[in-house]
Structure 1
Amino acid sequence: MNRRRALYLSLMAVPLLFAAAGPLLARAAPAERLTPFGPSPWSPFGADRLGRDVLAAALTGGHTFLLVGSVTALGAYLVGFGIGVAAAAAPRAWLADLLMRPVDVLLCVPSLLIIMVAALRTKGSAVVIAGAIGLALVAPIARFVRTAAAGVVHGPVMEALRMQGETRAYRYGRFAVREMARPIAADFGIRFTAAVYFLASANFLGLGFDTTSTDWAVSVAANKDALLIAPWAVALPGLLIVLLVVGTNLLVDDLLSDPRRVAAGDIRRAGRDG
């Protein structure tokens, strides 16, 4: 593993460890409430507005945040992928238009508006907000998948298989998966980041989880007025969100970059080092 990839993994590992092992580690934190925005005997980060240790709150605030973001992105991609592939493989243009015109309409609606309407109509239901975020992601996913699939479905290899009278569906599917795996995986990384962004935005605006939750985005919004006297109450959860988003994007870009371009870059670096 090269140093660049190790760095990207390290960026992702910090928030993931907080989310995975955090609830267990937070059990050692003091149960009693501390002075709001005062010092804490358990960590150097002090207390938040509700008198909770900032580190303990950060350790317990990532589990639900990451779970909801991941499930939302995966659900949206399953729906958008189905629409995009169906439109690309449609035997008639009018059928593809029937599938994609609602997607085009949805693209015109601001994503945060969809989320805000869903939140206000359901009094902040986390489940409905997650569904609204997924709905906002479906349209760009479907457009991307249709574009990626069109060149594969109507490409020369598929045409050759059809001309040969190939009836085994797995041969078509195997070729399609091989050709589409790289762009789809890269796009999924982007959509996961978008899901995290929308979820954080909704929570920051007070439309998502309970305002007393230890969720990272809620903590940033709830403690922002004390940024000067208790900076870690805002900086620590905010930093975890940034590390997650930046690390995910950089790692996905690195893992899914063109192998030929990577090899050429390695050769150039080896030449300079030599």
Structure 2
Amino acid sequence: MTPRRWIFSVLVAVPVLVAAAGPFLAAGAPQHRQAPFGPSQWSPFGTDRLGRDVLAAALSGGRTFLVVAALTVAIAYLVGSMIGVAAAAAPRAWVDELLMRPMDVLLCLPSLLIIMVAALRTRGSAVAIACAIGFVLVAPIARFVRMTARGTVRSPVMDALRMQGESRAFRYGKYAIVAMSRPIAADLALRFTAAVYFLASANFLGLGFDTTSTDWAVSVAANKDALTIAPWSVALPALLIVALIVGVNLLADDLLADPRTRAAHRTTRDV
């Protein structure tokens, strides 16, 4: 593993481990409230606006945030992929049009506006916000998968399988999965980043989780006015979000880079 891949992996691993194991570690923090934006008895990061230890709040505030983002992307990608593949493999042009024109209309709608409307109409329901985020992600996913699947469905390999009279669906599916896996994996990382962005934006605006929760984005929004006197109350959760987003994208780019491009870069450096 290259040094930069180690760095990218650490950027992803730190927030994920904090979200997974953090609530267990935070159990040892003092349960009583301390002075707001002051020193803490448990960690050197001080306290937040509610007198909670900043480190304990960061340790316990990532699990729901990441689980909601991951589940939202998974469901949105399942729905979007089904629409995209069905449109790419449609035997008639009108079927493709019927499936994709609603996606084009959805792409024209402001994503944050849809999420804000869903949050306001449901009084900040986390489920409604997650559904709204998934809804706005379906259209770009369907468009991307359709574009990717179109070249695969009409490829010479698929034509050869049809000419041979191949009737086993798994043969077509196996080739399609192999051919589409790299671009879809790269796009999946991008959509996860988008889901984190939308979820963080909703929570930052006070439309998502309860404003007294320890969610990372909520903590940034709730403590931002005290950035100069209690910087860690904002910086720590913000750094965890940034590390996750940057790490996921850089690691995906590194892992999914074309081997020929990597070889060309190595040759250039050697020269």
What's the counterpart of residue 64 of structure 2? 64
Does 1:19 find its partner at 2:56? Answer: no
Structure 2 letter corresponding to 1:19 = A
Query: Which SS does the other structure have where 2:43 is aligned?
Result: coil
In 2: Cα distance, 1:259 partner to 1:78 partner: 28
Query: What does the per-residue CA deviation read over 1:7-61, in whole Å, with 9 as the maximum and x for residues that have no partner?
Result: 0001111111110110011011111101000110211110000000000000000
Structure 2 letter corresponding to 1:222 = A
Query: Which SS does the other structure have where 1:115 is aligned?
Result: helix
Structure 1 letter corresponding to 2:238 = G
In 2: Cα distance, 1:212 partner to 1:257 partner: 42
Deviation at 1:265, TM superposition (A): 2.0
Which deviates more, 38-47 or 240-249? 38-47
In 1: Cα distance, 2:154 partner to 2:264 partner: 31
Query: What does the per-residue CA deviation read over 1:162-195, in whole Å, with 9 as the maximum and x for residues that have no partner?
Result: 1121111111111111110000000000000000
What's the counterpart of residue 122 of structure 1? 122
What's the counterpart of residue 264 of structure 1? 264
Query: Which SS does the other structure have where 1:32 is aligned?
Result: coil
Query: What does the per-residue CA deviation read over 1:42-86, in whole Å, with 9 as the maximum and x for residues that have no partner?
Result: 111100000000000000000000000000011100000000000
In 2: Cα distance, 1:72 partner to 1:166 partner: 36
What's the counterpart of residue 200 of structure 1? 200
- Using the size of structure 1 for normalisation, the TM-score is 0.97
Deviation at 1:255, TM superposition (A): 0.4
Percent of residue pairs bearing the same amino acid type: 73
Does 1:73 find its partner at 2:49? Answer: no
What's the counterpart of residue 250 of structure 2? 250
Structure 2 letter corresponding to 1:101 = R
Query: What does the per-residue CA deviation read over 1:139-163, in whole Å, with 9 as the maximum and x for residues that have no partner?
Result: 0000000000000101111112111
Q: Which runs of 4+ in 1 moved over 3 A?
A: none
Gaps in structure 1 of 5+ consecutive residues: none
What's the counterpart of residue 165 of structure 2? 165
What's the counterpart of residue 46 of structure 1? 46
In 1: Cα distance, 2:81 partner to 2:52 partner: 42
What's the counterpart of residue 101 of structure 2? 101
What's the counterpart of residue 138 of structure 1? 138
What's the counterpart of residue 219 of structure 1? 219
Does 1:111 find its partner at 2:111? Answer: yes
In 1: Cα distance, 2:139 partner to 2:233 partner: 36
What's the counterpart of residue 85 of structure 2? 85
Structure 1 letter corresponding to 2:17 = L
Aligned pair count reads 271
- Using the size of structure 2 for normalisation, the TM-score is 0.98
Gaps in structure 2 of 5+ consecutive residues: none
In 2: Cα distance, 1:37 partner to 1:187 partner: 40
Deviation at 1:264, TM superposition (A): 2.5
In 2: Cα distance, 1:242 partner to 1:5 partner: 17
Query: What does the per-residue CA deviation read over 1:217-273, in whole Å, with 9 as the maximum and x for residues that have no partner?
Result: 00000001111111110000000000000000000000000011112223333x25x
In 1: Cα distance, 2:162 partner to 2:93 partner: 20
Measured on the aligned residues, the alpha-carbon RMSD in Å equals: 0.8
In 2: Cα distance, 1:20 partner to 1:75 partner: 21
Query: Which SS does the other structure have where 1:210 is aligned?
Result: coil
Deviation at 1:88, TM superposition (A): 0.2
